[in-house]
Amino acid sequence: MTVLRGIIPPIITPMNEDESINEPELRNQVNRLIQAGVHGLFPFGTNGESYILNEKEKERVLAVVVEENAGRVPVYAGSGCVGTKDTIRMSQMAQSLGADVLSVITPWFAKASDEELYQHYQAVAKAVTIPVVLYNIPARTGNSLSPALVERLSAVENIVGVKDSSGNFDNMLQYLERTRKREDFVVLSGNDSLIYWNLLAGGSGGIAGCANVYPETMTAIYERFIKGDLEGARKAQDSIRSFRNCFKYGNPNTIVKTAVAMLGYPVGKCRAPFNQIPDEGIQAIQRVIDENRELGMK
């Protein structure tokens, strides 16, 4: 059984100047993150620019990550699409390539009822044999997984968890409260600033974009927590605040990828048009990187 826990980076997709995928650097990032102690890898999540990769590119990214990972940590594949048939196709593709877990974002653009979302997820879960994690990010999709719906979906055998990126801690708490009767159901924070609090409430960790920049620091939140070092875990959590404050200068995943490039890795820019950060933002990111380097953050 795949153990869903800890810090899982939604690994960025390195690109060349012509916006093609930089496969050698993608392999390098896989090894960098694993060596830093992460507990899983999540290709083509939001920070992996899933919204702008075509299906062939997603297939290649996943194949590279699975191959380079070589079974060291679980690989979570983002397979959600707007339509149920497309989501099933992408989920089966991910399973065939060796993904360990599926992360299935809600459909987007068109408003979906709870019953429509239930039928969607149930159909996807029945079409695969690997675990499925629900992905709630209503600010990006316009559709929200209510606590009542998550409770209902937790009864589906291979739906094993939910990632909550709503930023609403009470929503995440209700996920935890309503799914405790199923001991193997996990709740992961999709908001990096809530990982420590997720763990305190009984959650299992987080899918953390900032782990692309500071994998050791982010991993320390979880590792210190499970060892009983609550103060150390909280300090690790608090330490990423200065970097997260830079998100005001642009799209968060653009900020994250820019920061990784500033650390010296040739990951390129996000695909246009989502690749612009004002000069004051670049200066702020560099200042935070320099300050955190002095503090020993990695």
Q: How far apart are CA 293 and CA 61, in angstroms?
A: 30
Active site residue 163: yes
Q: Which of 76, 121, 135, 265 is catalytic?
A: 135
Contacts (Cβ under 8 Å, ≥6 apart) of 234: 196
- Compute the radius of gyration of the chain from its Cα atoms: 18
Helix (H, G, I), strand (E, B) or coil at 133: strand
Going by the DSSP 8-state scheme, the letter that residue 271 receives in this structure is P
Active site residue 135: yes
Q: Is 189 exposed, middle or buried (0-12, 13-18, 19+ CB in 10 A)?
A: buried
Q: How far apart are CA 71 and CA 69, in angstroms?
A: 6
Residue with tokens 């499970």: 226
Q: Which of 163, 214, 222, 257 is catalytic?
A: 163
How many helical (H) and strand (E) elements, i.e. helices and strands, does the chain have?
Answer: 13, 7
Alpha helices in 108-251 (DSSP H): 114-126, 138-141, 147-153, 169-179, 195-200, 215-226, 230-238, 241-244
Catalytic residue numbers? 135, 163
